[in-house]
Amino acid sequence: MSSPILKLIVQRVALGIVLLFAVSLLIFVGTEILPGDVAQSILGQTATPQALAALREELGLNDPAYVRYLRWLGGVLSGDLGTALTSGHDIASSISDRLANTLFLAACAAVVAVPLAILLGLLAVRYRNGPVDKAISAFALASTSFPEFFIGYLLVFFFAVKWQFFPAISTVFDGMSFIDRLHAVALPATALTLVVLAHMMRMTRAAILNVMQSAYIETAELKGLRPLEVIRKHAFPNAIAPVVNVVMLNLAYLIVGVVVVEVIFVYPGMGQYLVDHVAKRDVPVVQAVGLIFAAVYILLNIVADISAILANPRLRHPK
Protein backbone atom coordinates (compact mmCIF):
# COMPACT_ATOMS: atom_id res chain seq x y z
CA MET A 1 0.00 0.00 0.00
CA SER A 2 1.42 3.36 -1.01
CA SER A 3 2.31 5.98 1.55
CA PRO A 4 -0.33 8.62 0.57
CA ILE A 5 -3.14 6.05 0.92
CA LEU A 6 -1.82 4.76 4.24
CA LYS A 7 -1.49 8.32 5.54
CA LEU A 8 -5.07 9.18 4.58
CA ILE A 9 -6.42 5.98 6.16
CA VAL A 10 -4.55 6.67 9.42
CA GLN A 11 -5.90 10.23 9.41
CA ARG A 12 -9.50 9.01 8.94
CA VAL A 13 -9.19 6.44 11.74
CA ALA A 14 -7.60 8.97 14.11
CA LEU A 15 -10.31 11.51 13.30
CA GLY A 16 -12.97 8.88 13.96
CA ILE A 17 -11.51 8.10 17.39
CA VAL A 18 -11.38 11.79 18.31
CA LEU A 19 -14.95 12.24 17.07
CA LEU A 20 -16.15 9.29 19.16
CA PHE A 21 -14.65 10.83 22.31
CA ALA A 22 -16.37 14.12 21.46
CA VAL A 23 -19.69 12.32 20.94
CA SER A 24 -19.29 10.51 24.27
CA LEU A 25 -18.93 13.90 25.96
CA LEU A 26 -22.04 15.22 24.19
CA ILE A 27 -24.02 12.12 25.19
CA PHE A 28 -22.98 12.51 28.82
CA VAL A 29 -23.78 16.24 28.88
CA GLY A 30 -27.09 15.64 27.10
CA THR A 31 -28.24 13.11 29.68
CA GLU A 32 -27.00 15.27 32.54
CA ILE A 33 -29.07 18.29 31.55
CA LEU A 34 -32.29 16.31 31.23
CA PRO A 35 -34.95 17.64 33.61
CA GLY A 36 -35.89 15.62 36.69
CA ASP A 37 -34.07 13.68 39.36
CA VAL A 38 -32.73 10.21 38.63
CA ALA A 39 -33.08 9.10 42.24
CA GLN A 40 -36.65 10.40 42.33
CA SER A 41 -37.46 8.50 39.12
CA ILE A 42 -36.16 5.25 40.61
CA LEU A 43 -37.76 5.49 44.05
CA GLY A 44 -40.95 7.27 43.05
CA GLN A 45 -42.75 10.33 44.36
CA THR A 46 -43.35 8.80 47.80
CA ALA A 47 -39.64 8.40 48.62
CA THR A 48 -38.38 10.10 51.76
CA PRO A 49 -35.61 12.72 51.58
CA GLN A 50 -33.32 10.36 53.52
CA ALA A 51 -33.86 7.55 50.98
CA LEU A 52 -33.24 9.93 48.07
CA ALA A 53 -30.03 11.22 49.66
CA ALA A 54 -28.81 7.68 50.30
CA LEU A 55 -29.50 6.59 46.72
CA ARG A 56 -27.77 9.67 45.27
CA GLU A 57 -24.73 8.85 47.38
CA GLU A 58 -24.81 5.20 46.29
CA LEU A 59 -25.06 6.13 42.59
CA GLY A 60 -22.33 8.76 42.88
CA LEU A 61 -24.69 11.54 41.81
CA ASN A 62 -23.15 13.89 44.38
CA ASP A 63 -19.76 13.74 42.68
CA PRO A 64 -18.78 16.51 40.25
CA ALA A 65 -19.89 15.98 36.65
CA TYR A 66 -16.35 15.61 35.29
CA VAL A 67 -15.59 12.87 37.86
CA ARG A 68 -18.71 10.95 36.82
CA TYR A 69 -17.83 11.37 33.13
CA LEU A 70 -14.28 10.08 33.61
CA ARG A 71 -15.59 7.16 35.69
CA TRP A 72 -18.12 6.29 32.99
CA LEU A 73 -15.59 6.66 30.17
CA GLY A 74 -13.07 4.51 32.03
CA GLY A 75 -15.69 1.81 32.44
CA VAL A 76 -16.58 1.94 28.75
CA LEU A 77 -12.93 1.62 27.71
CA SER A 78 -12.59 -1.44 29.96
CA GLY A 79 -15.77 -3.02 28.52
CA ASP A 80 -18.03 -2.14 31.45
CA LEU A 81 -21.13 -0.27 30.26
CA GLY A 82 -22.55 -0.06 33.75
CA THR A 83 -25.71 -1.38 35.40
CA ALA A 84 -29.29 -0.54 34.52
CA LEU A 85 -30.84 1.53 37.33
CA THR A 86 -34.35 0.15 36.89
CA SER A 87 -33.54 -3.56 36.69
CA GLY A 88 -30.06 -3.90 38.20
CA HIS A 89 -28.95 -5.98 35.19
CA ASP A 90 -25.57 -5.62 33.54
CA ILE A 91 -26.10 -3.39 30.49
CA ALA A 92 -23.51 -5.14 28.30
CA SER A 93 -25.20 -8.52 28.83
CA SER A 94 -28.66 -7.08 28.17
CA ILE A 95 -27.53 -5.29 25.02
CA SER A 96 -25.72 -8.22 23.37
CA ASP A 97 -28.85 -10.09 22.26
CA ARG A 98 -30.65 -6.91 21.25
CA LEU A 99 -27.66 -5.70 19.23
CA ALA A 100 -27.62 -9.04 17.41
CA ASN A 101 -31.34 -8.63 16.63
CA THR A 102 -30.80 -5.10 15.31
CA LEU A 103 -27.87 -6.22 13.15
CA PHE A 104 -29.96 -9.10 11.77
CA LEU A 105 -32.79 -6.72 10.86
CA ALA A 106 -30.39 -4.24 9.25
CA ALA A 107 -28.64 -7.06 7.35
CA CYS A 108 -31.95 -8.34 5.95
CA ALA A 109 -32.82 -4.85 4.73
CA ALA A 110 -29.32 -4.27 3.30
CA VAL A 111 -29.25 -7.57 1.38
CA VAL A 112 -32.34 -6.43 -0.51
CA ALA A 113 -31.83 -2.66 -0.65
CA VAL A 114 -28.20 -2.42 -1.84
CA PRO A 115 -28.32 -4.62 -4.98
CA LEU A 116 -31.83 -3.41 -5.82
CA ALA A 117 -30.79 0.25 -5.53
CA ILE A 118 -27.74 -0.29 -7.76
CA LEU A 119 -29.82 -2.22 -10.30
CA LEU A 120 -32.53 0.46 -10.43
CA GLY A 121 -29.85 3.15 -10.72
CA LEU A 122 -28.26 1.36 -13.69
CA LEU A 123 -31.65 0.90 -15.36
CA ALA A 124 -32.50 4.57 -14.80
CA VAL A 125 -29.24 5.57 -16.52
CA ARG A 126 -29.72 3.10 -19.37
CA TYR A 127 -33.23 4.39 -20.10
CA ARG A 128 -32.69 7.95 -18.89
CA ASN A 129 -35.45 10.44 -19.60
CA GLY A 130 -37.64 7.57 -20.78
CA PRO A 131 -40.69 5.91 -19.18
CA VAL A 132 -38.54 3.50 -17.15
CA ASP A 133 -36.39 6.32 -15.73
CA LYS A 134 -39.45 8.41 -14.92
CA ALA A 135 -41.22 5.48 -13.24
CA ILE A 136 -38.17 4.68 -11.10
CA SER A 137 -37.71 8.35 -10.18
CA ALA A 138 -41.40 8.67 -9.26
CA PHE A 139 -41.13 5.58 -7.04
CA ALA A 140 -37.98 6.98 -5.40
CA LEU A 141 -39.65 10.35 -4.79
CA ALA A 142 -42.72 8.72 -3.24
CA SER A 143 -40.58 6.46 -1.06
CA THR A 144 -38.49 9.40 0.15
CA SER A 145 -41.55 11.53 0.89
CA PHE A 146 -43.11 9.08 3.34
CA PRO A 147 -41.63 8.89 6.87
CA GLU A 148 -40.74 5.53 8.41
CA PHE A 149 -43.71 5.38 10.75
CA PHE A 150 -46.19 5.99 7.91
CA ILE A 151 -44.63 3.26 5.74
CA GLY A 152 -44.60 0.94 8.75
CA TYR A 153 -48.26 1.48 9.55
CA LEU A 154 -49.22 1.00 5.89
CA LEU A 155 -47.37 -2.31 5.82
CA VAL A 156 -49.04 -3.41 9.07
CA PHE A 157 -52.50 -2.46 7.80
CA PHE A 158 -52.25 -4.25 4.45
CA PHE A 159 -49.91 -7.20 5.05
CA ALA A 160 -50.69 -7.98 8.69
CA VAL A 161 -54.26 -6.85 9.35
CA LYS A 162 -56.00 -7.00 5.99
CA TRP A 163 -54.22 -9.86 4.19
CA GLN A 164 -52.55 -11.49 7.21
CA PHE A 165 -49.42 -12.52 5.32
CA PHE A 166 -47.00 -11.47 8.08
CA PRO A 167 -47.26 -10.81 11.84
CA ALA A 168 -47.89 -7.24 13.00
CA ILE A 169 -45.57 -7.76 15.98
CA SER A 170 -42.09 -8.93 15.02
CA THR A 171 -41.20 -11.29 17.85
CA VAL A 172 -37.89 -13.17 17.70
CA PHE A 173 -36.31 -15.38 20.35
CA ASP A 174 -33.47 -17.82 20.92
CA GLY A 175 -33.93 -21.17 19.20
CA MET A 176 -36.06 -19.67 16.43
CA SER A 177 -35.30 -21.09 12.98
CA PHE A 178 -33.79 -18.85 10.31
CA ILE A 179 -36.90 -19.07 8.12
CA ASP A 180 -39.16 -18.12 11.04
CA ARG A 181 -36.88 -15.18 11.82
CA LEU A 182 -37.10 -13.99 8.22
CA HIS A 183 -40.90 -14.29 8.34
CA ALA A 184 -41.00 -12.33 11.60
CA VAL A 185 -38.81 -9.44 10.35
CA ALA A 186 -40.30 -9.26 6.85
CA LEU A 187 -42.36 -6.12 7.48
CA PRO A 188 -39.79 -4.06 9.45
CA ALA A 189 -37.08 -5.05 6.96
CA THR A 190 -39.35 -3.95 4.09
CA ALA A 191 -39.98 -0.61 5.80
CA LEU A 192 -36.25 -0.01 6.24
CA THR A 193 -35.58 -1.07 2.64
CA LEU A 194 -38.08 1.44 1.28
CA VAL A 195 -36.60 4.18 3.46
CA VAL A 196 -33.00 3.81 2.20
CA LEU A 197 -33.64 2.44 -1.29
CA ALA A 198 -34.56 5.74 -2.91
CA HIS A 199 -31.52 7.64 -1.66
CA MET A 200 -29.08 4.95 -2.77
CA MET A 201 -30.76 4.62 -6.15
CA ARG A 202 -30.76 8.35 -6.85
CA MET A 203 -27.11 8.72 -5.81
CA THR A 204 -26.12 5.74 -7.99
CA ARG A 205 -27.94 7.28 -10.95
CA ALA A 206 -26.34 10.71 -10.36
CA ALA A 207 -22.83 9.25 -9.98
CA ILE A 208 -23.06 7.21 -13.18
CA LEU A 209 -24.58 10.08 -15.17
CA ASN A 210 -21.71 12.30 -14.04
CA VAL A 211 -19.21 9.75 -15.39
CA MET A 212 -21.20 9.38 -18.62
CA GLN A 213 -20.19 12.93 -19.58
CA SER A 214 -16.52 11.88 -19.82
CA ALA A 215 -14.64 11.65 -23.11
CA TYR A 216 -13.70 7.98 -22.71
CA ILE A 217 -17.40 7.08 -22.46
CA GLU A 218 -17.99 8.76 -25.82
CA THR A 219 -15.02 6.83 -27.21
CA ALA A 220 -16.53 3.55 -25.95
CA GLU A 221 -19.85 4.43 -27.58
CA LEU A 222 -18.12 5.25 -30.87
CA LYS A 223 -16.48 1.81 -30.79
CA GLY A 224 -19.95 0.34 -31.11
CA LEU A 225 -20.40 -1.03 -27.58
CA ARG A 226 -23.98 -1.50 -26.49
CA PRO A 227 -25.29 1.03 -23.91
CA LEU A 228 -25.46 -1.55 -21.12
CA GLU A 229 -21.90 -2.67 -21.88
CA VAL A 230 -20.69 0.94 -21.74
CA ILE A 231 -22.36 1.44 -18.38
CA ARG A 232 -21.23 -1.90 -16.94
CA LYS A 233 -17.62 -1.90 -18.17
CA HIS A 234 -16.71 1.79 -18.19
CA ALA A 235 -19.15 4.06 -16.34
CA PHE A 236 -20.03 2.02 -13.26
CA PRO A 237 -16.44 1.02 -12.27
CA ASN A 238 -15.40 4.68 -12.36
CA ALA A 239 -18.47 5.75 -10.36
CA ILE A 240 -17.94 3.12 -7.70
CA ALA A 241 -16.37 5.49 -5.14
CA PRO A 242 -19.43 7.73 -4.59
CA VAL A 243 -21.72 4.70 -4.85
CA VAL A 244 -19.79 2.84 -2.12
CA ASN A 245 -19.81 6.00 -0.01
CA VAL A 246 -23.58 6.42 -0.16
CA VAL A 247 -24.14 2.69 0.42
CA MET A 248 -22.04 2.79 3.60
CA LEU A 249 -23.84 5.90 4.84
CA ASN A 250 -27.19 4.21 4.32
CA LEU A 251 -25.98 1.05 6.04
CA ALA A 252 -25.05 3.25 8.98
CA TYR A 253 -28.55 4.70 8.93
CA LEU A 254 -30.06 1.20 8.82
CA ILE A 255 -28.40 0.36 12.13
CA VAL A 256 -28.78 3.64 14.01
CA GLY A 257 -32.06 4.70 12.40
CA VAL A 258 -34.08 1.62 13.32
CA VAL A 259 -35.55 3.16 16.47
CA VAL A 260 -38.87 4.20 14.93
CA VAL A 261 -39.29 0.96 12.96
CA GLU A 262 -38.47 -1.23 15.96
CA VAL A 263 -40.99 0.63 18.12
CA ILE A 264 -43.74 0.28 15.49
CA PHE A 265 -43.24 -3.48 15.16
CA VAL A 266 -42.29 -4.01 18.85
CA TYR A 267 -39.07 -5.62 17.65
CA PRO A 268 -36.67 -6.59 20.49
CA GLY A 269 -33.70 -4.63 19.23
CA MET A 270 -31.54 -1.73 20.35
CA GLY A 271 -34.07 0.91 19.35
CA GLN A 272 -36.89 -0.60 21.39
CA TYR A 273 -34.50 -1.08 24.32
CA LEU A 274 -33.49 2.59 24.13
CA VAL A 275 -37.06 3.90 24.00
CA ASP A 276 -38.13 1.72 26.94
CA HIS A 277 -35.34 3.07 29.14
CA VAL A 278 -35.72 6.69 28.03
CA ALA A 279 -39.27 6.50 29.38
CA LYS A 280 -37.87 5.15 32.67
CA ARG A 281 -35.09 7.77 32.71
CA ASP A 282 -32.50 5.03 33.04
CA VAL A 283 -29.48 7.23 32.27
CA PRO A 284 -26.75 4.53 32.12
CA VAL A 285 -28.72 2.56 29.52
CA VAL A 286 -29.42 5.68 27.43
CA GLN A 287 -25.73 6.61 27.53
CA ALA A 288 -24.57 3.10 26.60
CA VAL A 289 -26.99 2.66 23.70
CA GLY A 290 -26.31 6.18 22.40
CA LEU A 291 -22.56 5.54 22.47
CA ILE A 292 -22.94 2.20 20.64
CA PHE A 293 -25.07 3.81 17.95
CA ALA A 294 -22.51 6.60 17.58
CA ALA A 295 -19.61 4.11 17.39
CA VAL A 296 -21.34 2.07 14.67
CA TYR A 297 -22.19 5.19 12.66
CA ILE A 298 -18.65 6.57 12.92
CA LEU A 299 -17.15 3.17 12.07
CA LEU A 300 -19.22 2.80 8.91
CA ASN A 301 -18.38 6.37 7.91
CA ILE A 302 -14.68 5.53 8.30
CA VAL A 303 -15.21 2.43 6.14
CA ALA A 304 -16.95 4.61 3.54
CA ASP A 305 -14.04 7.08 3.52
CA ILE A 306 -11.45 4.30 3.25
CA SER A 307 -13.43 2.63 0.45
CA ALA A 308 -13.57 5.92 -1.45
CA ILE A 309 -9.81 6.38 -0.96
CA LEU A 310 -9.01 2.86 -2.19
CA ALA A 311 -11.37 3.26 -5.16
CA ASN A 312 -9.63 6.46 -6.31
CA PRO A 313 -7.11 5.54 -9.03
CA ARG A 314 -5.24 8.84 -8.59
CA LEU A 315 -4.42 7.82 -5.01
CA ARG A 316 -3.64 4.21 -5.90
CA HIS A 317 -1.25 5.35 -8.64
CA PRO A 318 0.05 8.78 -7.55
CA LYS A 319 2.72 8.87 -10.25
Q: Go through the domains of the chain in sequence order and give each one's CATH number.
A: 91-316 (1.10.3720.10)
Paired with 37 in beta bridges are: none
Dihedral sign from CA coordinates of 273, 279, 285, 291: positive
Query: What does the DSSP assignment read for 112-172?
Result: HHHHHHHHHHHHHHHTTTSHHHHHHHHHHHHHHHS-HHHHHHHHIIIIIIIS-SS-SS---
Q: How confident is the model at residue 116 (pLDDT cuts 50, 70, 90)?
A: very high
> Residues near 6 by Cβ (< 8 Å), separated by ≥ 6?
none
pTM of the predicted structure, to 2 decimals? 0.84
Nearest C-alpha neighbor of 34 from the set 295, 277, 207: 277
Quick: pLDDT tens for 5-27. Answer: 788 888 889 999 999 999 999 99
Length of the chain: 319
Higher pLDDT, 75 or 47: 75
CA distance 238 to 234: 7
Give the closest residue to 181 by CA, choosing from 287, 242, 100.
100
Tens of pLDDT, residue by residue over 147-201, are 888 999 999 999 999 999 999 999 888 888 999 999 999 999 999 998 888 888 8
